[in-house]
Structure 1
Amino acid sequence: MLNANASGGVRAPKSRLLTVFGPGLITGASDDDPSGIATYSQAGAQLGYGLAWTMLFSYPLMSVVQEISARIGRTTGRGIAGNMRVYYPDWLLQTIVCLLLIANTINIGADLGAMADALRLIVGGPQLLYVALFAGISVVLEIFLKYSSYVSILKWLTVSLFAYFGTILFVHVPWAEVARGLFIPTLSPDPQFWTTVVAIFGTTISPYLFFWQASQEVEEEKASRRKPLKKAPRRSTHAIKRIRLDTYVGMAFSNLVALAIIITAGATLHVRGITDITSSSQAAEALKPVAGQFASMIFALGIIGTGLLAIPVLAGSAGYALGEARKWPIGLERKPLQAKAFYAAIALATLLGACLDFTPVNPIKALYWSAVVNGVVAVPVMVVMMLMTARRDVMGNAVVPLAMRLVGWAATGIMALAAAVMIFQLFY
């Protein structure tokens, strides 16, 4: 990533790492937010290593879908909602944006509650105060911090996810059983099994990640004063290589962390008959008697770190989607007074999410179901994205190759099938 300096010039990148790894790394890391941690913990506690295969299975699917999201943004110079506003019916755009806002708000509330629980687990104190504190920190950083500095902070926060590799060191893991769960898929007619599968897919292939990565590619493009690939096709080869490396590394990191959480929960909770985990902080607390205080604390610190990373992504993707749908000036590169409605949407999404923790509604229980909702909402968004990638009026000469589109359609079909099976078994 190249950063514009105060005089309007361009600074050389600080390091090769910051240059190559950007939106894809942040997107992949934010995928393991506290609600995702709770979902993976529930999967491990409920089924042991039986769903480890979903991490291997979902990796190529989520990588391709996220690469497509990034290419849409980099090629067109617009985010997903911006392209939908131009090329698709308004009712479809408004429906998808509305569903995204609802899912993101619930997710934010769940994440803030989980972070507050994790901090209380470490130092004690009032949970609601911590909710307000984390919400305030997230909003202030996202609105008032310079974009290049803010993105650097998000990149460094990805380090917090290494905490989940650390917890494995404190537990006994039967690696032969893990290998069977990873390489030999198991299926079950149990409705709860399919609900968990949809929740896993919903938290690994989430709509807010599509909107965020596409919009961040646009931000990077503007920050480096480059034209969209549609208008500068000679840059396509280099840009697509960078997007692919960034995305595939970010998604691999995300799935390895998720696998570590499933293994930890399976090795500590499932084997002792603890099968109902409704929050990430509960998973951390449940580790105490079986893996020790230190493992529990590492797990809890990881929840706080990844929450600080994920909440801005959730609120930011909501702001981008709503702003593009309403034709507002948008972008974290803009100063607050230059994009008042955009930043107000970010603050409001965070505030509404925080308010859920002050009501009788229990967002911590809702977080598991928010992953299920994400899994269902992702399907129409992915259908629209796949249709965009083949349209020359949208993508110009940089249409996505047929092989990649086929994988994207396969991912869409699998998501739709899993959601349909879950709904059928829940009601019939």
Structure 2
Amino acid sequence: MTDHVVRGADIYTDEFAADPYPTFAAMRADRPVCPVSSPRFDSYLITRFDDARAALTDARLSKDLYGPGQHYLRIFGPNSEGLNKNMLNSDPPEHTRLRRIVSQAFAPRRIEALRPRVAQIVDDLLDKVVARGRAELMRDFAIPLPMTVICELLGIPAAEHEQVLGWTQVIRTSGSSRRSPEEERAAVQEAQLLLHHYLADLVRAKRARPADDMISALIDACDHDRTLAEPELVTTSFLLLFAGHQTTADFLGNAVLALLAHPDQLELLRVTPRLLPSAIEELLRFDGPLPVASPRIATEDVEYQGVCIPRGSVVGVVINSANHDPAHFADPDQLDVRRVRGPHLGFGYGVHYCLGVSLARMEAQIGLGALLRRLPGLRLAVPLAEVRRLPAASPFRGLLELPVTFTASALPHQAHSREPIPPKEQSWSSGT
């Protein structure tokens, strides 16, 4: 097998953005470890399921981008350290220390206590569109749902949600405008800088007047338990903010689009709502929001499938390719909401397994369930080929817009809600 380098420009096309899975299939068959060049940095893509799972736990593939070599400069740019030097980009024992602190906020009982509030947010969003018979589901639902949830958990004031959302969307949609690459980079760097200043100011405000929220709990860990350094308060807050809404928003958009493109599966799920938990796993496997796991760096020469990955190389584990590997999934390109839950890699694997998995699953189950109940006759308002997506080279797989129509209804959300809304549980103290 040759190790000839593939140009990223030859892979990341409009056709790839619409459907990357034929390209992934070709890679798995002919070049399962594929060196790819791009203007920003070169990398090696690992595409088969067994190799992907092994790579996600391979200690020779480091997540620490801020150690020797300053690899973050190649990947994130010179202004990234203030936001991206967090547990996502670290190895044990630093990763273990940071994850242990944050994981208290994602304990199953705490997440389950949020269920009524999530249901209320879902119904409030749908109340605004049900009478219209049309919606742009990314703007009206998929993005604001997880954004509202994570902002409330962190303690970001409601009046500032839109401002914070604007900055995160500049980062998310980078490359989708008509601006030059230089202008795009400048816009992203400005958004990162503004977010850094905002979160630093928010941390100072929470220290002066602590509340019942995640950021106040993190401050308590910093000030009293001495387990969190001052700069880590800001970087951890950014990680929770961005990871807490970005992938869930993109998943919701991808999931709805996949169901609309497979009306038999949509109808099956509508008439058999008990399938929803397994359907969410299948939808995540079928077209997940994070096609390639966050970057890793080879700390020594590493060999996969007979290909030597040289020390210092950037390695991308292609989650969405691994989740379509026919060696592990029967008919992997077929969406089947009745599929028995399998060992997909949509939430990662190993020590970096998604910390917010319980919250993401809850938001998806409540959100998709409500869409199916409250928007009868749901269908695309444009041809499938005209749905606007994030750029092919984006680290995220998601939609810019999802215009839909449905049968309008004037029914209030009380006719659809299944659970009462109890008082919010006071539970963010770091000592519990």
TM-score (normalizing by structure 1): 0.31
Structure that is richer in strand per residue: 2
Higher helix proportion, which one?
1
Higher RCO by CA contacts (8 Å cutoff, separation 6 or greater): 1
Q: TM-score, length-normalised on structure 2?
A: 0.31
